[in-house]
Structure 1
Amino acid sequence: SQVFYAQHVCRVLPWPAEVARTFAAIDADPTVYHAMNGPTEFHVVGSLRNWSIIERLHRINAPTLVLSGKYDEATPETV
């Protein structure tokens, strides 16, 4: 996971204190992360497994800019 995070979540080394604290908090109590995602980033089995907002996208009535970069978790193909 750490290699993936360093490539796709935060490429700044060392991680900013805020990012490091966030991951430390998840490590200290992964209850919510595990409930929503599952035990790993790579195979979602939690409550977000089948979550989608695709059918409600037409309700967005404000100009919206969606960005996806080379190293993002959500690749341009999925955005």
Structure 2
Amino acid sequence: MVLGCTHYPFVRGSIIKVLGQDIPVIDGSDGTSRHLKNILEDNGMLNPAEKKGEVEIYNSLDNDAIIDLSYKLLNK
């Protein structure tokens, strides 16, 4: 099973429980984040500061419950 969306790592453990240990689960999110870093570097957009940035979440539904859940999943 290939996890093709960046939010699947949040439910990876549950997916493995359903599929069983015999089915390999490949997580593409690391490659996605490395690719994004390369794009930001190539365009001079990577933050050079040593301090961590901030996260602000929006969604198209403007649903506070989804936004709150997103922050919880990120431990924010």
- Shared fold per TM-score greater than 0.5: no
Query: TM-score, with normalisation over the residues of structure 1?
Result: 0.28
Which structure carries more strand by proportion?
A: 2
Which structure carries more helix by proportion?
A: 2
